[in-house]
A = this chain, B = another copy of it.
Amino acid sequence: MNAENLPEFEGPMCPLPLPHSEQILLGHGSGGKLMHDLISQVFMPPLHNPFLAQCDDASVIPILDELSATPSVRLAFSTDSHVVTPLFFPGGDIGKLAVCGTVNDLAMMGATPRYLTAGFILEEGLEVEVLTRVLHSMRQAAEEARVLIVAGDTKVVEKGKADGMYINTAGIGVIEHNLYISGNNAQPGDVILLSGTIGNHGIAVLEARQELGFSSHIQSDIAPLNTLVEALIHGGIRIHAMRDPTRGGLATTLNEIAAQSKVGMLIHEEQIPIQPEVASVCEMLGFDPLYIANEGVMITIVAKDDAPAALEVMRASKYGTQAAIIGEVLETPVERVLMKTAYGSTRVVDTPSGEILPRIC
């Protein structure tokens, strides 16, 4: 497969093109509707290809060894840039985030993460001691995730830009199973599991910004999820889709999968794991925890019969002790996520339009 034999992009992917006079807003980076519009209307027309069109956390690419003419190896390949502010927050920092973010994107395709690159954009005047702390954190996270950082790049920009540092990571994972795992593959009847409690990361970053007005002791959930994924795959679970609900939170990510798979979903509010402290802070600040970013939690959608075994495997894994079955995939309403609330009513859980909490990853 090369650029020459790609299908041409066929017309606009959305009926309402973003006017070209428009400017980028903070909300275009939010994970919500604005970002989806930017991607479908601005990024996709020039860059469209079958890999990008999958809209998964990583692309699955075939590598044919033409020299030895051996069969193709399937790799997952992904990237994330990290612009979190501040650089350090309860439970983690930008370095741990940069490693775990890409490790998790690869793991969500069922790949075993192997190699990372790291591209640093440093602000003139950054203390070398701060950079050193971030690098040690990256090393520690990489060791836990059993990945190697094999290539890097450093640029420096003038004081006042880049908020200390931005870090991009890209990663390669090897796919060693024959499952088809994709946001396109949630099927009616499937069961939806969540590996841990929601909202911790976003609230921890807010705390670090001293925007809470009090001290909450809430830690980010940031963690590499590849061991948990490997346990599911080795456990023989028929995984149909996996995704980590980062920007835009659980609500946005479930809506993404519902749209990609053209299915409906019903989740049960009382079954969604959340720490009481996180629930309290969200209530006080008027946030819906369904929309708060997570960095160490994953949605797993599995064949119905495998759900009890999947839950057991998850709960036995370090980052899955709070795992729960939170809902099921429906045939209708297509591309809609419904939630049975604690009060027994049913409401639509929509994709947010713009920014809830900017710069959280």
Q: Which residues of A contact B (CB under 8 A)?
A: 1-4, 6, 18-30, 35, 38-39, 42-43, 46-47, 49, 51-52, 58-59, 61, 63-68, 70-71, 73, 75, 77-83, 114-115, 117-129, 131-132, 135-136, 138-139, 142-143, 146-158, 160-163, 166, 168, 170, 172, 174, 176-178, 358-359, 361
Contacts and interface: CB of A to CB of B under 8 A. Distances in A.
Contact of A29 (B68, B129, B154): B154
17 contacts: A21-B127, A23-B124, A23-B125, A24-B131, A28-B122, A35-B154, A46-B138, A47-B139, A47-B142, A51-B151, A67-B177, A70-B70, A79-B151, A80-B119, A153-B168, A155-B361, A172-B172
Nearest to A82: B155
Contact of A128 (B22, B79, B122, B174): B22
Contacts of A42: 128, 131-132, 135
Contacts of A66: 174, 176
Identify whether the interface residues of A are mostly helix, strand, loop, or mixed.
Answer: mixed
A158 B26 contact: yes
A250 B264 CA distance: 59
Contact of A161 (B118, B162, B170, B176): B162
Contacts of A163: 157, 161
A79 B118 contact: yes
| Residue of A28, A125, A136 contacting most chain B CB atoms (<10 Å) | A28
Contacts of A77: 115, 117, 150-151, 172
A210 B168 CA distance: 31
Copies of this chain in its oligomeric complex: 2
Contacts of A27: 156
A160 B161 CA distance: 7
B61 A115 contact: yes
A127 B129 CA distance: 36
Contact of A79 (B47, B67, B127, B153): B153
Contacts of A52: 149-152
A168 B128 contact: no
B25 A148 contact: no
B124 A25 contact: yes
Given A3-B146, A163-B161, A176-B67, A154 B122 contact: no
B59 A150 contact: yes
Given A63-B75, A127-B23, A177-B67, A150 B81 contact: no
A21 B129 contact: yes
A154 B23 contact: no
A78 B46 CA distance: 23
Contacts of A126: 23-24
B79 A172 contact: no
A2 B136 CA distance: 18
Contact of A46 (B38, B51, B132): B132
